[in-house]
Structure 1
Amino acid sequence: MLAVNQLSHSFKNGVEATPVLNEIDFHIAKGEMVALLGSSGSGKSTLLNLMAGLMKPTTGSILIDGSPIEKMSENQLAEFRRSHIGFIFQSYELIPHLTVRENVELPLVFQAVKPKERRDKAVSLLTKVGLGEKTEMFPSQLSGGQQQRVSIARSLVTEPAIVFADEPTGNLDTKTEKEIIDLLIELNGTLGITFVIVTHELEVARRARRVIQLRDGRLVEDGAWAGETG
């Protein structure tokens, strides 16, 4: 459902081009949970931006559900992201003056979903992530781990084909990090939604069923961890 084919990307500085990604090639099947592992400067953030349609590659192609996103216009990409892609961010990106439920509902507002349907879906997802009793609270009233659970619920509310989680545990302590990854594994199993977790942390990556590792803009590993436990 996600195909990255011979993807390369360079940033131009005047007349010079600096290569960032070099002939990246992999496929992710529907329902997989994959970690994209790499240190700072490995190219993983650039790859995430390309896969999410936030940047255009220099060469190569990216297909999501069979659609070549590098060929889409900005308007087409915006519409495609609204219906096919969910995002989870390191810093949660919640709107402080909206309640937890309203934050989760927000993507459905842009899809013109009726208020009752929006509310019902938001409350159902918040219950799934363990926040069924906190729907009318504000983000500032929640812990970091709880705010990330809101972000996870929001990423799922449009029933996307794929969810990109960008360093989703980067602001969390070790115990909460484990709880959030446990939740993502559970949702991946029960909902069958494809997750790509971008991380620089080995302990986070090894929880995924498959790891794609980048180093200096090149793919250096692609496979399952031996002895994985999920």
Structure 2
Amino acid sequence: MLRVEQVSHAFRNAKESVPVLHDINLTVEKGTMVALLGSSGSGKSTLLNLMAGLMKPDQGKIWIADQDIVRLGENRLAEFRRSHIGFIFQSYELLSNLTVRENVELPLVFMGVSPSKRKTKALSLLEQVGLAPKAALFPSQLSGGQQQRVSIARSLITEPSVIFADEPTGNLDTETEEEIITILQRLNREMRTTFVIVTHEAEVAEQMQVVLTLQQGRLVRETVQQAGVKEK
């Protein structure tokens, strides 16, 4: 499903090059829930962005669904992301002028799916996250936890190979955080969706099947709670 081979990356400015990731190797099997755990500056968000195809590494390969995304040009990479990759953001990233249903449909608009099929699929996913009755509302009329559920539904609309989530519970209180994690776990079981979740919270990471701990840009520890990921 997802394979990272000898990936290293550095950020550069006019004066210097600052190494961020060092020789990362890992494999994620289909249907696994993986946490990337680390403190601020550990490189976890950079690794997530590289695996999601939002950045290209200085060296190494990243395979998703048998495709080395590092080798893809910008147009093909954008097309691949639309079909194979879903995102859940800490700040939800919903469009305020669109209804809940329209926000969930949006990735299918870019893929040219017909309005009737978009609507049917969006309503089905909103049912999955318990928000079908609020389909006609706007994001401002929802709580933070409800907005994140909309974001989760949107991430699933294209039936992606993998969903990347960057601190998906970072803006939520403890009770709502637990609700969101429970929803993700249920979707993982029912839909066999692969999740890679960045977090700095050990409590969140402990609820994943596998925890990969980053420290100063290196993969220093792997905790397997269920079979699914093996460090190479």
Same-fold status (TM-score > 0.5): yes
Deviation at 1:222, TM superposition (A): 1.4
Give the match's secondary structure for 2:10.
strand
Aligned match of 1:129: 129
CA-atom RMSD in angstroms: 1.0
User: Which shifted more, 7-16 or 130-139?
Assistant: 7-16
Per-residue Cα deviation, 1:70-103 (whole angstroms, up to 9, x for no partner): 1111111110100000000000000001000000
Deviation at 1:224, TM superposition (A): 1.7
For residues 102 and 10 of structure 1, the distance between their equivalents in structure 2, rounded to whole angstroms, comes to: 38
The one-letter code of the counterpart of 1:24 is I
Aligned match of 1:26: 26
Aligned match of 2:187: 187
Give the match's secondary structure for 1:190.
helix
Give the match's secondary structure for 1:19.
strand
Kindly report which structure 2 residues correspond to 1:121-200, keeping only aligned pairs within 5 A, or say none.
121-200=121-200
Structure 2 alignment gaps of length 5 or more = 227-232
For residues 28 and 168 of structure 1, the distance between their equivalents in structure 2, rounded to whole angstroms, comes to: 20
2:90 paired with 1:90: yes
For residues 67 and 182 of structure 2, the distance between their equivalents in structure 1, rounded to whole angstroms, comes to: 31
TM-score by structure 1 length?
0.96
Structure 1 alignment gaps of length 5 or more = none
Deviation at 1:14, TM superposition (A): 3.1
Give 4+ residue runs of structure 1 displaced > 4 Å after superposition: none
For residues 140 and 89 of structure 2, the distance between their equivalents in structure 1, rounded to whole angstroms, comes to: 17
Per-residue Cα deviation, 1:127-161 (whole angstroms, up to 9, x for no partner): 00000111001101100000000000000000000
| Count of residue pairs the alignment pairs up | 226
Deviation at 1:225, TM superposition (A): 4.1
